[in-house]
Amino acid sequence: MSRPSLIDVDLDAIRANVAAVAAFVAPASVCVVVKADGYGHGAADAARAAVAGGASWLAVALAGEGAELRAAGVDTPVMLLSEPTEAELRVAATHDLTPTLYTEAGVRSAAAIRPGWSVQVKVDTGMHRVGAPVGVAAGLVRTALDAGLVVVGTFTHLALADTPERPENRVQLDRFEGVLAELAGSGVDPGLRHAANSAAALHLSEARYDLVRVGLAAYGVAPARLEPPVTLRPALRLRSRVSYLNHVPAGEGVSYGWHHVADEPTCVAVVPLGYADGVPRNLGLAGGEVLVGGRRRRIVGAVTMDQLMVDVTGDGSVGIGDEVVLLGAQGDEAISAQEWADRLGTIPYEVLVGFGTRLPRSYPG
């Protein structure tokens, strides 16, 4: 697809971010989460960059995502973060993925589909999404071993890692360590013990154990709105070009609903990017800005499905074909995924994974 609108992915930034996290969390090792198409960066390319930066594991949500990594030639161990359905287990077995299990039915299916399979057991210590309850998790590990599976990891996930100072994190870790102690008491090796996402990896040292599972930090976004203890470089840049210039008289509105009415004669630059690409309709209504000529410019009115409008009044130098940066740097200015998230009342994850397949990814360098 040849479009003036595209995403530049800086794979060297991903490599460097992972290397920085790996050095910081050592001796714990690093698993990089590349689900949802590598948080919108392109899963296989992000995965290769992550491995180059020192990741020894990759993680995805779906067996199909793991299969795509294998098809792209990625041979690093890949864990599935939740228990697959029986159909997905078959895909996982074919592609040598490491499933996560937390039910007896899952253990039975995995053992039947692939005797001797390497699996992990997930413990629900308080996220209350998925995982074996604390009271049964150690028993499930033993059941898996009795069924002939090899348990290569036992893990949990923190609900409040974004606020590392909250005592609930310690409560979850205590519950996790209770399960580990139970396993140790019966002479069972839990395999890799892990609990930390990016926020915990960087800001909660006691959650690191043997491995950290980082997504956001690998892509250069500081987790938890905290100053990261390592240098993180955003890897994604969303850019386009001015496609049309529109002179709007004072008193006239712009875009659907006329949510923005020009209070003076206004020069509006049209940018061929819209909510079908992952630029939320409300970004313009929430004060969102873009960069043109290295300067911040306001998006005016509602973002439409394929196009958005920017007020470039007073800068006669803006012309059709000029570069417009929505996320990332231009000149000395930069717009971050966190800035979008703050305006939109969401989190940077939702911003990054929202960029659709209509947007080509380019991998400069």
- Of 6, 13, 28, 33, the one binding ligand PLP (CB under 6 A) is 33
Q: Does residue number 328 form part of the binding site for ligand PLP (CB under 6 A)?
A: no
Structure token pair of residue 363: 């991998």
Q: Return the range that interacts with ligand PLP (CB under 6 A); candidates 172-180, 196-204, 240-248, 357-365.
A: 196-204
- Rounded CA Rg of the chain: 23
Q: Return the range that interacts with ligand PLP (CB under 6 A); candidates 166-174, 215-223, 231-239, 276-284.
A: 215-223
Instruction: Please give the Cα distance from 179 to 185 (Å, whole number).
Output: 10
Q: Least separation, in Å, of the C-beta of 353 and ligand PLP?
A: 10
The torsion defined by the Cα of 45, 46, 48 and 50, in degrees rounded to 10, comes to: 170
Q: Does residue number 213 form part of the binding site for ligand PLP (CB under 6 A)?
A: yes
Q: Which is nearer to ligand PLP, 215 or 288 (CB)?
A: 215
- Of 49, 119, 180, 216, the one binding ligand PLP (CB under 6 A) is 216
Q: Which is nearer to ligand PLP, 199 or 248 (CB)?
A: 199
- Of 15, 48, 114, 157, the one binding ligand PLP (CB under 6 A) is 157
Q: Which is nearer to ligand PLP, 107 or 214 (CB)?
A: 214
Instruction: Please give the Cα distance from 38 to 13 (Å, whole number).
Output: 14
Q: Least separation, in Å, of the C-beta of 107 and ligand PLP?
A: 19
Instruction: Please give the Cα distance from 112 to 106 (Å, whole number).
Output: 10
Place of tokens 């228990």: 83
Give CA 199 to chain center in angstroms.
12
Whether 122 is catalytic is no
Q: From the candidates 39, 256, 349, 363, which is the catalytic residue? A: 256
- Of 126, 223, 234, 301, the one binding ligand PLP (CB under 6 A) is 223
Q: How many residues bind ligand PLP (CB under 6 A)?
A: 12
Q: Which is nearer to ligand PLP, 41 or 213 (CB)?
A: 213
Instruction: Please give the Cα distance from 153 to 155 (Å, whole number).
Output: 6
Per-residue b or e along 110-149, where b marks 16 or more CB atoms closer than 10 Å to that residue's CB: bbebbeebbbbbbbbbbbeeebbebebbbebbbbbeebeb
3-class state of residue 251 by DSSP: coil
- Of 22, 81, 248, 309, the one binding ligand PLP (CB under 6 A) is 81
Q: Which is nearer to ligand PLP, 197 or 307 (CB)?
A: 197
Secondary-structure breakdown of the chain: helix, strand, coil percentages, each rounded to the nearest 5 = 35, 25, 40
Structure token pair of residue 72: 């792209």
The span from the first CA to the last CA of the chain, in angstroms, equals: 20
Whether 35 is catalytic is yes
Using CB under 6 A, which residues numbered 137 to 156 contact ligand PLP? none
Which residues, in sequence order, are CB contacts of 94 under 8 Å at separation 6+?
A: 67
Q: Least separation, in Å, of the C-beta of 199 and ligand PLP?
A: 6
- Of 214, 300, 324, 351, the one binding ligand PLP (CB under 6 A) is 214
Which residues contact ligand PLP (rule: CB under 6 A)?
Answer: 33, 81, 157, 197-199, 213-217, 223
Tell me which residues are annotated as active site.
35, 256
